[in-house]
């Protein structure tokens, strides 16, 4: 694995770790609002992002490269309403999709076929990530200001389990 690929993968590790941090902050935001189901959903997202970072980390190491970790940025504390929070989560996933696409392009430019194969998993994963966040955005829009609908959605999102993600 050449230096350019190692650095590009290391940069993506930082993005994934920051994503985990953002979702952890969203978890805290929802817990402060007593929306435990939304908090549980975000907490699972935080765990997934850590797993994504570790997957990239392991890929570099399997290829004899050297991971270069950087400082993780500070996430916001307040995200607004549940709808605004999930809209921000969706926008963040769209940002990560763009990062993955750029990383894939680097792998193509470097003729790094093992990286391309590894990154195909991430391309597919981002389709799922955007779909999941987008679905909740749409459901929150349908709920509008209806508190009963919000609480029902909170309960439903609290049922999400890690097994559903595999």
Reported as a single tens digit per residue, the pLDDT across 55-110 is 999 999 999 999 999 999 999 989 999 999 999 999 999 999 999 999 999 999 99
Mean pLDDT of 45-60: 97
Task: Check if the beta carbon of residue 46 is closer than 8 Å to that of residue 20.
Answer: yes
For 4-27, the pLDDT digits (tens) are 999 999 999 999 999 999 999 999
User: Would you state the pLDDT for residue 44?
Assistant: 97
Taking Cα atoms as reference points, which of 82, 12, 72 lies closest to residue 41?
82
Residue 31: pLDDT above 70?
A: yes
**Which runs of consecutive H residues, i.e. helices, occur in 33-146?**
36-62, 82-109, 113-143
Angle at 51 between CA 53 and CA 73, to 5 degrees: 45
Domains of the chain are 3-165 (1.20.1260.10)
Q: Hey, how many other C-beta atoms are within 10 angstroms of the C-beta on 20?
A: 21
């Amino acid at each position: 694995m050449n230096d350019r690929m190692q650095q590009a993968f290391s940069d993506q590790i930082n993005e994934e770790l920051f994503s985990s941090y953002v979702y952890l902050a969203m978890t805290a935001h929802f817990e402060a609002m007593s929306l435990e189901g939304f908090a549980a959903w975000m907490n699972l997202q935080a765990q997934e992002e850590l797993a994504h970072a570790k997957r990239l980390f392991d890929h570099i190491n399997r290829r004899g490269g050297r991971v270069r970790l950087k400082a993780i940025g500070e996430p916001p504390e307040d995200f607004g309403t549940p709808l605004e929070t999930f809209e921000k989560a969706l926008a963040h996933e769209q940002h990560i999709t763009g990062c993955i696409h750029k990383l894939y392009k680097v792998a193509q430019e470097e003729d790094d076929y093992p990286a391309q194969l590894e990154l195909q998993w991430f391309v597919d994963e981002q389709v799922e990530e955007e779909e999941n966040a987008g679905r909740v955005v749409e459901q929150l829009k349908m709920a509008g200001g209806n508190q009963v609908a919000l609480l029902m959605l909170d309960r439903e999102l609290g049922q999400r389990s890690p097994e559903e993600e595999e």
